[in-house]
């Protein structure tokens, strides 16, 4: 299997690994098939994601995609983070082998799950804004 240099870089030196104390939103998602789990922490000020960290109990592609996803949403608005798709993350990493696409889906879902948690904590119904985020992906 061939991984791009960017994937290898983010796998070996993942950015923003860890937890955020008093995070404003925490999301955890998993994939039922491979059993991998991803946890995303967001710090939000007004409408901006000021900090973002992740922990992944998963494969190398899961580490690389979550690392890239955190870089892509840090300092951005919630709106931008909501628009983050797994294909954008894959593109930023110069692609992933087809069997690893679901790993990037996990990264997208983890961001959305953290935003769901953020809105819930604010007393706002997250579903019309974020959509439905499955805790477990079947694919």
Residues that bind ligand FES (CB under 6 A): 31, 34, 36, 58-59, 61-62, 100, 102-103, 106
d(CA 103, CA 65): 7
52 is catalytic: no
Choose between 16 and 126: whose C-beta lies nearer to ligand FES. 16
Q: What residues have CB less than 8 Å from 95, skipping those under 6 apart?
A: 4
Lookup result for tokens 């769901």: 116
Min dist CB 137 to ligand FES, Å, is 9
- State which residue, 44 or 64, has the beta carbon closest to ligand FES: 64
The catalytically annotated residue of 6, 9, 17, 34 is 34
Joined together, the tokens standing for residue 60 give: 């190398």
> CB–CB of 69/87 below 8 Å?
no
Q: Looking at 103, 114, 115, 133, which residue is catalytic?
A: 103
Interatomic CA distance for residues 13 and 132, integer angstroms: 32
Residue 55 CA neighbour count, 13 Å, CB half: 8
Nearest to ligand FES of 23, 62 (CB atom): 62
* Nearest approach, Cβ of residue 64 and ligand FES (Å): 10
Nearer to ligand FES, 43 or 55 (CB): 55
Q: How far is the CB of 47 from ligand FES (least distance, A)?
A: 30
User: C-alpha distances in angstroms, 105 versus 28, 30, 34, 124?
Assistant: 13, 10, 13, 25
Catalytic, 59? Answer no
Active site residues: 34, 103
């Amino acid at each position: 299997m061939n991984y791009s240099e960017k994937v290898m870089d983010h796998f070996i030196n993942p950015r923003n690994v860890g937890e955020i104390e008093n995070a404003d939103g925490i999301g955890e998602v998993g994939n039922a098939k491979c059993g991998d789990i991803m946890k995303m922490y967001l710090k939000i000020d007004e409408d901006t994601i000021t900090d973002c960290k992740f922990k992944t109990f998963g494969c190398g592609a899961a580490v690389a995609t979550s690392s890239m996803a955190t870089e892509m949403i840090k300092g951005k608005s919630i709106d931008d983070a909501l628009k983050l798709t797994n294909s954008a993350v894959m593109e930023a990493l110069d692609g992933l082998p087809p069997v690893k696409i679901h790993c990037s889906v996990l990264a997208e879902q983890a961001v959305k799950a953290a935003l769901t948690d953020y809105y819930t904590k604010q007393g706002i119904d997250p579903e019309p804004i974020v959509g439905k985020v499955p805790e477990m992906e079947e694919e």
